Amino acid sequence: MSDTDAGRPPGAPASWDTAPADVDLGRVWTGVAAQVWRRDPGWVERLAGRLLRSPGLARALVATPSLLLAWIIATLVVLAAGAVATLGTGTPYVALFAPALAAAGVAYAYGPGIDPAWELSRSVAVGDRMVLLVRALAVFGLNAALGLAASAASGAAAALTFGWLVPMTAACALALAAATLANSANVGVAAGVAGWAIMVLAGRATLGQYTAAVTDSALVLPYLLFAVCCCAVALFATRISRGTS
């Protein structure tokens, strides 16, 4: 019925009967309503649609809860506060905050815990794994960019400025795995933030400084391996046979 409108819609007013018989007012109104009700995609969505070659995927990306303006602003505020605090005290707060923030963002990107239309989303042509992947990458990328900017602004050493990208990957992967396994975004946030906090505290306990979790180069490979494992878990958790009975 998309192109061939079903004539007079249910509940059309009787006044339409006074129109000439060969003029389809239902069709006219559908044409008017189509322009009045449509949502104009912004330039971000249009660009994403072209890059991803799928307007549906672009719309899903733009609707990500953790890419909403409010969330981004909150992230910026926390990072800015961290940068300011770093300038004041010297402790690289940005490097410590950024992985946790990113992990929370990734956990809140997709999943039954935060997507009420979860069941419906699994029946559509744009696959939910694609949506998850695109959203997680977008959130990760955005957080990385914001964190880098904040880190550079806070004048931290280069090693610290980039060093937290690897732990951030691991923290995000952990959040993703937990969220998809438990079908809950909150579990994902808790796992990601807690896991990162444990790493930081362990670094302090064993090597004497909070930033050990970030700067210790021996941890790079374990972090990456861990991230890969978590991604595999997330892949497994989102296989199609997963369904709440």
Partner 1 sequence: MDDDGLVARVAAGDDTALRELFSRHAPWLAARLRAVLPAAEVEDVLQETFLAVWRGAGGYRPCGAAGGWLWGIARRQAALLLRRRGPAAAVLPGEVTAGARRAADPVELALARADLAAAVAALGPPGAPEREVWRLLYVEDRPVAEVAALLGVPPGTVKSRAHRARRRLRAALRAGAAAEGGSR
Partner 2 sequence: MNVDITDLTRRFGRTQAVAGVSLQAGAGVFGLLGPNGAGKTSLLRMMATVLPPTSGRLRLLDRDAGSYAPRREIRRRLGYLPQNLGYYPGFTVAEFVEYFALLKDMPPGRVPRAVAAAIEQVGLGDKARAKLGTLSGGMLRRAGIAQAIVNGPELLLLDEPTAGLDPEQRVAFRALLRDLGQRATVIVSTHLVEDVGAACTEVALMDAGKVVFHGTPDELIARGEGTGAAGDAPLERGYSAVLAAARSTTAVA
Q: Which of residues 116-135 bind partner 2 (CB under 8 A)?
A: 116-127
Ramachandran sector of residue 176 (left: φ over 0; alpha: ψ -120 to 50; beta: rest): alpha
Report how far residue 136's alpha carbon sits from residue 87's, in angstroms, rounded to the nearest whole number.
Answer: 31
Judge whether 140 and 106 are in contact, CB under 8 Å: yes
Helix count (H) and strand count (E) of the chain?
Answer: 12, 0
Looking at residue 8, its amino acid is: R
Q: Which of residues 5-64 bind partner 1 (CB under 8 A)?
A: 12-13, 15-20, 22-25, 27-29, 31-33, 35-37
Minimum CB separation from partner 2 for residue 165, in Å?
32
What sign results for the dihedral spanned by CA atoms 184, 189, 192, 194? negative
Per partner kind, with CB cut-offs from 5 to 8 A, the member of partner 1, partner 2, none near residue 245 is partner 2
- According to the binding rule CB under 8 A, does residue 34 interact with partner 2? yes
Which one, 13 or 116, has the nearer CB to partner 1?
13
Axis crossing angle, helix 93-107 with helix 185-207, rounded to the nearest 10: 160
Binding partner 2 by CB under 8 A: which of 14, 18, 20, 35? 35
Q: Which of residues 82-111 bind partner 2 (CB under 8 A)?
A: none
Which one, 116 or 208, has the nearer CB to partner 2?
116
Q: Among 151, 150, 146, 149, which Cα is nearest to 161's?
A: 151
Report how far residue 185's alpha carbon sits from residue 183's, in angstroms, rounded to the nearest whole number.
Answer: 7
Minimum CB separation from partner 1 for residue 21, in Å?
9
Report how far residue 104's alpha carbon sits from residue 171's, in angstroms, rounded to the nearest whole number.
Answer: 9
- According to the binding rule CB under 8 A, does residue 51 interact with partner 2? no
Which one, 6 or 202, has the nearer CB to partner 2?
6
Residues that bind partner 2 (CB under 8 A): 1-3, 5-6, 9-11, 26, 29-31, 33-35, 37-39, 49, 54-56, 59-60, 63, 115-127, 240-241, 243, 245
The residues of the shown chain that bind partner 1, judged by CB under 8 A, are: 12-13, 15-20, 22-25, 27-29, 31-33, 35-37
